[in-house]
Amino acid sequence: MRLELVETAALIDGLWIEADRTFDVTNPADGAVIAQVADLGASETKVAIEAAHRAFPAWAARTAKDRGAILRRWSDLMLLHAEALARLMTAEQGKPLAESRGEVVYGAAFVDWFAEEAKRSYGHAIPTPDPSKRLVSIKQPVGVCAAIAPWNFPIAMITRKVGPALAAGCTVVVKPAAETPLCALAIARLAVEAGVPAGVLNIVTGKDSGAIGKALCDDARVRKLSFTGSTPVGKLLYAQCAGTMKKLSLELGGNAPFIVFDDADLEAAVDGAIASKYRNTGQTCVCANRLIVQAGIHDAFAARLTEKVAAMKVGAGTDEGVTIGPLINAKAMRKVGDLVSEAILSGAEALTGGGPDPLDEDRFYTPTVLVGVTPDMRIFQEEIFGPVAALVRFETEAEAIELANATPFGLASYFYSRDVGRCWRVAEAIEAGMVGINEGIISTEVAPFGGVKDSGLGREGASEGLDEYLETKYLCFGGVGG
Ligand code: SIN
């Protein structure tokens, strides 16, 4: 299949930069090399920061309406090229084509929404306590921002950072994941076509994430860093940013509880669990990780879930009807395999799946339902990031909340119940940044996405997501009289 919009050079200061060294981008479905991309490091990152620093004053000085018009053109171009972008995404990331198409729309929506929202970044007129003074607060762009993006949503996790940053008047240096740089470069090309000026959006591709990340953290001109990825890397970046006192957004790992109470609508709960658990082959930070199911509905839920999961089609994302693609790499295959094998050795039972898929045991994992999982198992404690539903049985509401909160993570959470009182109680008691109540898909550009505890800091999307790229400045006018 011929791919379109393939760029292999990095984008710095409006120029496409080739490099002596390149790295391979491979298709996770078959290991084929799709492209060889410029492999940049710390010194090129500095050049990108300089470009973003130079471009900042002019971009910040433009009106929000003017920036918004450019961003809307960018969003429109992404939608115009949606099919090409989706095919590129499936090629480098592996997700089923229908999901890639969905992500292009989701990704473009962040740009479109923030293009509008920046026009409403209001300050306040503050009632004065002193008649001789007048007090006002205004919002101003933070400055140069760094965005370090993951491989699981190669477009949306970039636009969720870059959309609000550019809309607010910031300039950005993006480091896309080494597994999925092609989508980043493709949308950057469309940004240039839309009229984003040189230096405002820079894309630094490279395999040495540590060196590029450190260069971004150490540079005092970078005033904010936004990262989506693992908790250990997030903590490292947090520490590295201390020296230059950057603003930080960290969207880190999760261990989402998905509670099903006896009074739940069984079919809705099964469908919600499938949508949440198996989206992107289980490789999202908000995937249901622990399915905590009340004793009275447990067996019926497990049986219906198993029936539907066993019918899922595994294969390359471009194949018709496929709902479960490959895992991103061999390390991911090993991790999922180990978690499941250990759980089974400790007494869990696979009702379907339970191992690598015969289609290609090095790349695909059969969608799995495990029952008999207990809190002492690693599969309960760690983020699985694969197509495995781990079911835990409980008796009382208090026990469900205790199980849900028995983790250092607190990103997404879900529960199903038809008791309105319980819905309020449980939603308030769960330690998480987001709660899906009778709903398995909660992500949208209009709502604040983010976590608590080890799941990170800050929010993306919604007006909160714009605030992350703005500073509040207080102006005190003295000598006014009165
Ligand atoms: C993520 O996995 O980090 C993001 C998922 C989403 O936006 O729904």
Instruction: Note the pLDDT tens digit of each residue in 406-434.
Output: 999 999 999 999 999 999 999 999 999 99
The residue extents of the domains of the chain are 10-252+455-474, 256-446
Whether the per-residue pLDDT at 1 is higher than 80: the answer is no
CA distance 25 to 344: 35
Ligand 1 atom 5: the closest Cα is on which residue?
284
Average pLDDT, the chain: 98
Ligand 1 atom 8: the closest Cα is on which residue?
443
Binned at pLDDT 50, 70 and 90, residue 231 comes out as very high
| SS3 assignment, position 268 | helix
Tell me the C-alpha to C-alpha distance, in Å, between residue 244 and each of 45, 238, 386.
17, 11, 37
Q: Which residue do the tokens 């249901």 mark?
A: 288
Whether the per-residue pLDDT at 181 is higher than 80: the answer is yes
CB-neighbour burial class of residue 76 (10 A; exposed 0-12, middle 13-18, buried 19+): middle
Q: What is the pLDDT of residue 379?
A: 98
Ligand 1 contact, 159 CB (< 6 A): no
Find the mean pLDDT for residues 58-80. Answer: 98
Neighbours of 193 (CB within 10 A): 12
CA distance 306 to 282: 16
CA 106 to ligand 1: nearest atom:
7
Q: Which among 17, 402, 28 is positioned nearest to 179, based on CA atoms?
A: 28
CA 228 to ligand 1: nearest atom:
3
Q: What are phi and psi of 109, to 5 degrees?
A: -65, -35
CA distance 355 to 368: 8
CA distance 392 to 370: 9
Binned at pLDDT 50, 70 and 90, residue 2 comes out as confident
Give residue 471 CA to ligand 1 midpoint distance, Å: 26
Q: What are phi and psi of 151, to 5 degrees?
A: -90, -15
CA 284 to ligand 1: nearest atom:
2
Find the mean pLDDT for residues 145-168. Answer: 98
For ligand 1, pick from 105, 151, 153, 250 the residue to mutate: most ligand atoms within 8 Å of CB. 153
Task: Please tell me the CATH code under which domain 256-446 is placed.
Answer: 3.40.309.10
Q: Which of 179, 251, 383, 431 is catalytic?
A: 251
Q: Which residue do the tokens 């729309």 mark?
A: 105
Give residue 284 CA to ligand 1 midpoint distance, Å: 5
193 is catalytic: no
Answer with the residue of higher pLDDT: 179 or 481. 179
CATH 1.10.3720.10 fits domain 10-252+455-474: no
251 is catalytic: yes
Q: Which of 170, 183, 217, 285 is catalytic?
A: 285
Q: What is the pLDDT of residues 5-57, one digit of tens each?
A: 999 999 999 999 999 999 999 999 999 999 999 999 999 999 999 999 999 99
Q: What is the pLDDT of residues 313-357, one digit of tens each?
A: 999 999 999 999 999 999 999 999 999 999 999 999 999 999 999
Give residue 286 CA to ligand 1 midpoint distance, Å: 6
For ligand 1, pick from 148, 286, 439, 460 the residue to mutate: most ligand atoms within 8 Å of CB. 286
Q: What is the pLDDT of residues 93-141, one digit of tens each?
A: 999 999 999 999 999 999 999 999 999 999 999 999 999 999 999 999 9
Helix orientation angle between 97-117 and 64-80, rounded to the nearest 10 degrees: 170
Q: What is the pLDDT of residue 481?
A: 81
